[in-house]
Structures are given as C-alpha cells and as structure tokens.
A and B are shown apart, each in its own frame.
Chain A
Amino acid sequence: EAEVAQSPRYKITEKSQAVAFWCDPISGHATLYWYRQILGQGPELLVQFQDESVVDDSQLPKDRFSAERLKGVDSTLKIQPAELGDSAMYLCASSDGFAEAFFGQGTRLTVV
C-alpha cells in the first residue's frame, strides 16, 4: 500500500543547531503539506506545495524555517537555528488535489 515516508522518526537537537526533515509523498500526489503539531493541539499548517510551487506558507516562521520541493516530488523542511519552542511533531501529508490528505508517521523533534 502506498504511503507517505518521513525521516527521521525521532530527532533530538540542541537549541541553536540546524535540523532537517525529509518527506517522500505518495507517488503522483501533486499536493504536499507540512504541519506542526504541539502536544494537545491540532496540526498547524506550515507550508503547502502544489508540485514544486509554494501555495501557502503564511504560517511558516520564515526567519528560521525553510521548505523546498525542488523537483516536485520529495520535500525537505529545515529549521535553523532551532529553539526550545520548536519541540513538536512535524507531519508531512500528501493528496491528489483537494481530496483526502494522507499523513506520514511524523518526526518527533525535541530541542534541548
């Protein structure tokens, strides 16, 4: 069964360090989302891609976060420098248009 792949599953980093997450969506899915989920809250959209183009990054803290999807397939989300408040689950999801979004298993980030 096709699924969204994310790595790493867990990441511990020191504050002020750089950290990167990778996502490989379901084959053929043009839409890719990155969400951040703090414990006890719903997923918060960080960035949405349509193929290689950013559709919505209004909630992405651009002073420290960046995201790219160069060839319109896999994507990388980077944080530099990491802050204690960035500790959260980072979820990648993909969809075929505006249909159901399928989620990867997520990356649990802990900043110490």
Chain B
Amino acid sequence: QKEVEQNSGPLSVPEGAIASLNCTYSDRGSQSFFWYRQYSGKSPELIMFIYSNGDKEDGRFTAQLNKASQYVSLLIRDSQPSDSATYLCAPTGGRALTFGSGTRLQVQP
C-alpha cells in the first residue's frame, strides 16, 4: 500500500461547480496535512494546511480531515478554469513531506 493514495483523474467539472478531491494515507502518525497545487510545468505551491479534525475554510477552498478514517479532502467551490491543475496531498508527521501522485482537475468553461 502506498503511503498516500489519490485518484489520478482527470476530474472534470463545469465552471462554477464544486470540485471534490480526496486523499487517503496510511501513516497514523501523520499530524499535519498539506494540499499543494501544481500547474503544468511549474512547481507545487501550498494552498491549504490542516491539522485538526473537521473543516478548514479559506476563500473558495475547504479542507476536511478525518484522522480516524485516515482521510483528507479538498473542496473547491465555484470552480474556475484557472483552478485547472494537479492537486497534491502531503501528510506529514515529523518526517519529510511525502506526496501522493496527485489528482488532475479540469474545469470546463
């Protein structure tokens, strides 16, 4: 089992819809969870950080964490074509950031 599992996609949603991106992880010691966005040919950039169970909202982005189920998700409301990118999940528990393979999101105008 991989440490971090993500559906590679592509996940295609129409403009204005909600995009839901999911991630499961195997290390129960993971304490913090990062979501990075990576545009094609560019480096990853952090968009959300969560460490407590429940929801964390930042603008159009909501991260949801369930440590008991070892599951973290990212919701993007009012999706825009500029949100089209690969979204990488990265749990950390005092070790190096380990990334999932990423989910490619396509927002159709």
Interface residues of A (CB under 8 A from B): 33, 35, 40-45, 48, 55-56, 91, 93, 95, 98, 100-106
The reply to whether A43 and B94 form a contact with Cβ atoms under 8 Å apart is no
The reply to whether A33 and B43 form a contact with Cβ atoms under 8 Å apart is no
The reply to whether B44 and A43 form a contact with Cβ atoms under 8 Å apart is yes
13 contacts across the A-B interface (CB closer than 8 A): A33-B97, A41-B101, A41-B102, A43-B88, A45-B98, A98-B32, A98-B95, A100-B34, A100-B49, A101-B34, A101-B97, A103-B44, A105-B43
Partner of A103 from the list B32, B45, B95, B102 (CB cut-off 8 Å) is B45
Q: Which residue of A lies closest to B100 (CB)?
A: A42
Contacting residues, chain A, for B6 (C-beta < 8 A): 42
Contacting residues, chain A, for B98 (C-beta < 8 A): 45
Q: Which residue of A lies closest to B4 (CB)?
A: A42
* In the complex, B68 has a CB within 8 A of chain A: no
Q: Which residue of A lies closest to B2 (CB)?
A: A42
A55 to B95, CA, bound (A): 9
The reply to whether B43 and A91 form a contact with Cβ atoms under 8 Å apart is yes
Contacting residues, chain B, for A40 (C-beta < 8 A): 8, 101
